[in-house]
Structure 1
């Protein structure tokens, strides 16, 4: 099996490319990392747009308003850089630091099966979202009664009782009646 170093291994989305900035090849980016500047710790980056991968090397970056502007090595032309607008910023998952026991990344939680403490199946985690107060698990509802997704606050020890990443299993304190309206 050929390993192409210009394509990420276990791709992980960490940001989005915005519009070009100035005439010297700078472009705006939006970081999806919890601490926004951490995006620069996870290199190399791959831009993904229209089913095409481009490995890039950031040679400079600056804080700009609530986001960042970056300069890519060997690009100093606005017309070239603007082709990357709306690209996803992807890394290889192995570039993330190893976590301590009982810690996990959001990507580890996606596709976990969710059961309540009464052993009732609630569905599969399809997404997580961040709110002002806490993160929210978005569970794909497996029941035909309601096609609405189930939203469960990610409050450890109170609502989230147990997470077994290796088994892709989450146990929650959540009553089926809560979402059966």
Structure 2
């Protein structure tokens, strides 16, 4: 397993949920959209016992609402079960280059959210897809925010006015009373 990997250089794309069958296949829950995008990466990093280890993707296929994958060196059910609930990552440098106004969700987590009135609403805790292609940002109160209220803010152009990754801030057209 070549190369040392540290958490800051890794982007999590999904996780192994459990074993699939008896030949070492694993069930995979993908965070990518579409979920099959995780299969575009021929080498996965799995965090086993606190250490990132490289595994080559040998084969894969859709399975129910998820995916099943065969990894090099994982040849039986016991080895596959040992990977249950293990995160799947790739080196962040392997991610495709985005357009100027595009962002990966992981880049937004932790950013401060300010409204047009200059009020700090909180920090981005997470993002999720609410269905139909609608993304929602979960904002939690933080030190200096106007309250400790959790807010769910639609991540759409009409509301999200600016994302400043370098400044660590998102500006939104969102009333504090919403």
What range is the shorter-chain TM-score in?
0.7 to 0.9
RMSD of aligned C-alpha atoms?
A: 2.0
1:33 aligns with 2:1: no
Deviation at 1:146, TM superposition (A): 5.1
Deviation at 1:144, TM superposition (A): 8.1
User: Which range moved further: 88-97 or 138-147?
Assistant: 138-147
Match of 1:176 in 2: 176
Distance in structure 1 (CA, Å) of the matches to 2:149 and 2:39: 37
User: Which range moved further: 41-50 or 161-170?
Assistant: 41-50
Which SS does the other structure have where 1:175 is aligned?
Answer: coil
> Does the 8 Å CA contact 2:127/2:135 hold for their aligned counterparts?
yes
Distance in structure 1 (CA, Å) of the matches to 2:22 and 2:177: 57
Residues 1:22 and 1:137: Cα distance change in structure 2 (over 3 Å): same
Distance in structure 2 (CA, Å) of the matches to 1:177 and 1:21: 48
Q: Deviations over 1:47-70 (max 9, x none)?
A: 114423322111111111121111
Superposition map of 1:32-111 within 5 A: 32-111=31-110
> Does the 8 Å CA contact 1:12/1:91 hold for their aligned counterparts?
yes
Distance in structure 2 (CA, Å) of the matches to 1:128 and 1:43: 26
Deviation at 1:166, TM superposition (A): 2.5
Unmatched segments (≥5 aa) in structure 2:
none
> Does the 8 Å CA contact 1:46/1:55 hold for their aligned counterparts?
yes
Match of 2:156 in 1: 155
1:7 aligns with 2:24: no
The TM-score normalised by the length of structure 2 is 0.88
Deviation at 1:6, TM superposition (A): 4.1
> Does the 8 Å CA contact 2:44/2:88 hold for their aligned counterparts?
yes
Q: Deviations over 1:136-171 (max 9, x none)?
A: 111121368853422211111x11111222322211
Q: Deviations over 1:92-132 (max 9, x none)?
A: 11110011111111111112211111111111112111101
Deviation at 1:88, TM superposition (A): 0.9
> Does the 8 Å CA contact 1:43/1:91 hold for their aligned counterparts?
no
How many residue pairs get matched? 174
> Does the 8 Å CA contact 2:46/2:86 hold for their aligned counterparts?
yes
Which SS does the other structure have where 1:85 is aligned?
Answer: coil
Unmatched segments (≥5 aa) in structure 1:
none
Residues 1:145 and 1:107: Cα distance change in structure 2 (over 3 Å): closer
Match of 2:17 in 1: 18
